[in-house]
């Protein structure tokens, strides 16, 4: 039996615990999983709950640590300590991966452990492993994605129901799609972190989210959506990374006018989608629920199993901690709305 420790018992942590129980009941493979510890500072009525990480760090029975605390404070400290102790670490923490992924992958390798983060981009959509494994023979030049379910829900609600941004945001919060403080989602930072992770993998060097252009959806109005619709477009918050031959990469997150004939135009509600362009495979698209406890937990548990089954789940893929120089987004004319607002355009070619 493989023992697991979960750090943080919020939406993701409790979801992982639930999915592990379901997996154990199904007995789908020779790997049996069990949660031995839950690290949380709250008084949760569960005998597995502890408040001292040293208990987990020093327990030789714990094979995998699931980091679902979030942020870069305690999450970074405990991740480093777990990896240094030779324990595998699995996370959905896109902020930590985007800022310190190169360092943590190197630390994992040095201690014969794995650091896996499938759930950090796209929730339950398998994207990191296909990127590293199935597309391993490709040079990936372009990545385009709807990477934030909250923003996509808000824009969908505004377009389909005529709601204002403020009304759509309140509805997203009511349904649990948006946090009480939704700034990371609606201001584009969550999308920026995720496109940086994908760009790190594509280009092999660290791209700090603070170095890229980021624009959120707060200034998008129902009038913009109506005008876009009449012109044959919809509006989506996209993360984009592109590198033309002989040029610096361009990486950014911003609202785009998306042609209705483009595959990403039909991705609505809380769904996410990522399109990659490989030198051999051409265009490949991944689609599914990008948020929520169970989709995210699905990706986390898949990573746990990969840690225990494989000597190298990411097939050696990593990126250098040396920051990569990037070019600013192309200053194309794009589309100019009646009120003067400018927006980038994604056509169907």
Nearest one of 150, 147, 159, 88 to 119, comparing CA atoms: 147
Task: Take residue 25 and report the two structure tokens written for it.
Answer: 């009941």
Bridge-based pairing of strands 250-259 and 213-214 is parallel
CA distances from 202 to 34, 40, 198, 274 (A): 35, 35, 6, 13
Quick check: 165 and 217 in contact, CB under 8 A?
Answer: yes
8: left (phi over 0), alpha (psi -120 to 50) or beta: left
> Strands 115-116 and 88-91: what pairing?
parallel
* Active-site residue set: 194
C-alpha to C-alpha distances, 260 to 153, 169, 191, 236, 333, nearest whole angstrom: 17, 24, 22, 11, 19
CA 232 to chain centre: 29
Cα–Cα distances (Å) from 276 to 50, 172, 240, 251, 266, in that order, read: 42, 29, 10, 14, 17
Tokens in use for 96? Answer: 């930590």
């Amino acid at each position: 039996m493989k023992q697991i420790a979960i750090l943080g018992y919020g939406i993701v942590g409790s979801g992982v615990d639930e999915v592990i129980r379901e997996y154990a009941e199904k007995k789908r493979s020779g790997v049996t999983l069990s949660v031995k510890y839950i690290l949380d500072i709250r008084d949760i009525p569960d005998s597995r709950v502890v408040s001292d990480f040293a208990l987990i760090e020093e327990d030789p029975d714990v094979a995998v640590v699931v980091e679902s605390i979030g942020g870069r404070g305690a999450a970074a400290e405990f991740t480093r300590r777990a990896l240094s102790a030779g324990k595998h670490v699995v996370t959905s923490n896109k902020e930590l991966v985007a800022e310190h992924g190169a360092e943590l992958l190197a630390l994992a390798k040095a201690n014969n452990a794995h650091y896996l983060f499938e759930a950090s981009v796209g929730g339950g959509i398998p994207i990191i492993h296909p990127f590293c494994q199935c597309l391993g023979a490709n040079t990936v030049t372009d990545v385009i994605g709807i990477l934030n379910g909250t923003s996509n829900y808000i824009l969908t609600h505004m377009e389909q129901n005529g709601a204002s941004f403020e009304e759509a945001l309140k509805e997203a919060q009511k349904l649990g799609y948006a946090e009480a403080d939704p700034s990371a989602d609606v201001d584009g930072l969550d999308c920026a972190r995720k496109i940086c992770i994908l760009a790190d993998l594509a280009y092999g060097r660290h791209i700090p989210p603070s170095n890229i252009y980021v624009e959120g959806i707060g200034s998008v109005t129902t009038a913009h959506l109506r005008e876009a619709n009449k012109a044959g477009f919809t509006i989506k918050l996209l993360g984009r990374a592109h590198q033309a031959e002989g040029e610096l990469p361009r990486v950014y997150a911003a609202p785009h006018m998306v042609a209705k004939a483009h595959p990403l135009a039909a991705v609505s509600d809380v769904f996410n989608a990522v399109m990659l362009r490989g030198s051999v495979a051409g265009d490949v698209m991944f689609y599914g629920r990008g948020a929520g406890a169970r989709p995210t937990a699905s990706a986390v548990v898949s990573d746990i199993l990969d840690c225990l089954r494989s000597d190298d789940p990411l097939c050696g893929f990593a990126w250098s901690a040396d920051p990569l120089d990037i070019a600013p987004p192309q200053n194309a004319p794009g589309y100019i709305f009646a009120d003067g607002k400018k927006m980038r355009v994604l056509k169907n070619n």
